[in-house]
Structure formats: C-alpha cells, structure tokens
Amino acid sequence: MSWTSPLPVRRVEARPDAGGPGWPFDLPPVSQLLRDGLDLGPLTVLVGENGTGKSTLVEAVAMAYGLSPEGGSTGARHTTTATESPLHGHLQLSRGAGASRWGYFVRAETLHGLNSYLQEHPGSRDAGFHQRSHGEGFFDLLSSTRFDGPGFFVFDEPESGLSFGAQLRLVVAVLDLLADGRSQVLMATHSPVLAAVPGARLLELDADGMHPRSWEELDVVDHYRRFLTSPRAYLRHLT
C-alpha cells in the first residue's frame, strides 16, 4: 500500500504553556509528547502495559480532533460520566491540507453506551447494534456507512470481547479502511494480533516514554510467545 493523499492529522504538538502538575502530565509518554510532539502516519499503534498512558493519549488526540471521549463520529455528543483527562486541551493538531475532517472514535469500555446513544437516535447516519453480541455488533458498526471513509479513525483497545478470529477480521477491516489512501488510523492495543497489522508504526509505552519498536521487539509479543511455547513453565515464574 502507498499513501500519497493528505492525511487528516500530520502531527500532534503541545499548545504554548501546555502541561501542569500531576496526572496525566507526569506520565512519561505524555511528557515526551508535550516536549517532542508526535508525527502520525497512516497507521500508528500504541502498545504497553496498563497505566502507561495509551488510552489517555488516544483519547486526548481524538478529543483534540473534535470527537466525543465516549466514542462516535464527529457529530456524536452523548455523555454519561465524565472521566477524560484535561490533556486534549493542551494539544494542537497539524491537519493535512485538503484532508478529510471526518472521524470516528471507538473505545471498548464505552461501546455499550455508544450503541445505546445510536439506538436512541435512529434518524442519525449511525444505527444501533444492541441486537447482536458484542463482537457481532462491533463488526456491524465497522461495516456501516460510518466507516466508508475517508477520515480519522481512533480505536482504544478494540480487541476487548473479540475472539482470535474476530481480531483477524479487525486486521482486515483496518487494512480496508486504509486502502483509499486518504484515511488514517490511531490505535491503542494489548493485542499482538492487532499490533501485527502490515504497515503499522509501533510505539511501545513504558515508564521511560514512547519507543519505536518492531513487532518482534514488543514485550507483549515476547510474553505471548513464551507462554504459548510452554504455559506451565511460564506460569511457574508467577508463583
């Protein structure tokens, strides 16, 4: 694949005087982003342990783009309980000239609430997907007109509730999104399957910041490989 058209988000940078004391600004990946900025390619995948800041970063970028922190398109404004960090207000996005302004944010932890919102607003371009299982509803959403592109698509741990086979389907769906050359994906994941999407720029987040990695270098890949090679031997190290 090649991408020659302008992408929706070229770069994420700090606004003047951005930052502050406490969370999330004391997270090393957040500090690094505010200090150095972050260039986004067609597909950027953030990986790392819980608490390293993956979801915080993708949420903030999505909100800075104009998306609801609880998911949905650029037109969705549903909300339940406000839990988002203030980071989005400290970011500025460099957008591609002539690129799409459309976007969609899907996060596993708020997908049920998003589906409820869509079901309660049948006149919108969205549709509700409560009648199906979590995984089936998720793929119904991806196959709806909301994901025809072009646009900026943000996924926060989309593997939640998806089987191995369904994660492979999501890999194909992501590649389909990117096929038009004008769409862009930012994703946070714990899944080595989703981290293996061809063409992905992988950034591993840890206590020292964000680090470019190959798929083979990711900690999560190493742990899965060792576990699958010898589950009993691997689990003995945990006791």
Reduce the secondary structure of the chain to three states and give it as a string.
Answer: CCCCCCCCEEEEEECCCCCCCCCCCCCHHHHHHHHHCEECCCEEEEEECCCCCHHHHHHHHHHHHCCCCCCEECCCCCCCCCCCCHHHHHEEEEECCCCCCCEEEEEHHHHHHHHHHHHHCCCCCCCCCCCCCHHHHHHHHHCCHHHCCCCEEEEECCCCCCCHHHHHHHHHHHHHHHCCCCCEEEEECCCCCHHHCCCCEEEEEECCEEEEECHHHCHHHHHHHHHHHCHHHHHHCCC
Q: Does 2 map to a domain? A: no
Confirm whether 219 is domain-assigned: no
pLDDT of amino acid 140: 76
The CATH number given to whatever domain includes residue 55 is 3.40.50
Q: Is residue 118 part of a domain?
A: yes
Q: Is 232 a member of any domain? A: no
Rg (CA), the chain: 18
Q: Is the dihedral of CA 79, 81, 82, 83 positive or negative?
A: negative
Assess if residue 123 is contained within a domain. Answer: yes
Q: pLDDT at residue 93 above 80?
A: yes
pLDDT digits (tens, 9 = 90+) for 97-106: 899 999 999 9
Q: Is the pLDDT of residue 114 over 60?
A: no
What's the mean per-residue pLDDT of the chain? Answer: 86
- Whether the upstream peptide bond of residue 21 has omega within 30° of 0, thus cis, is no
pLDDT in tens, 136-174: 777 777 776 567 779 999 999 999 889 999 999 999 999
Each residue's pLDDT tens digit, 1-17: 444 568 999 999 999 98
Question: For residue 150, what are the domain limits?
Answer: 9-214
Q: Give the tens place of pLDDT for each residue, 127-143.
A: 444 455 656 777 777 77
In a domain, 236, yes or no: no
CA distance 92 to 10: 11
User: In the predicted model, is pLDDT for residue 115 greater than 60?
Assistant: no
Q: At 186, is the pLDDT very low, low, confident or very high (cuts 50, 70, 90)?
A: very high
Q: Is 169 inside any structural domain?
A: yes
pLDDT at 139: 78
pLDDT digits (tens, 9 = 90+) for 57-75: 999 999 999 999 888 888 7
Quote the pLDDT of residue 77: 64
pLDDT at residue 149, rounded to an integer: 73
Q: Count how many domains the chain has.
A: 1
Q: Is residue 210 part of a domain?
A: yes
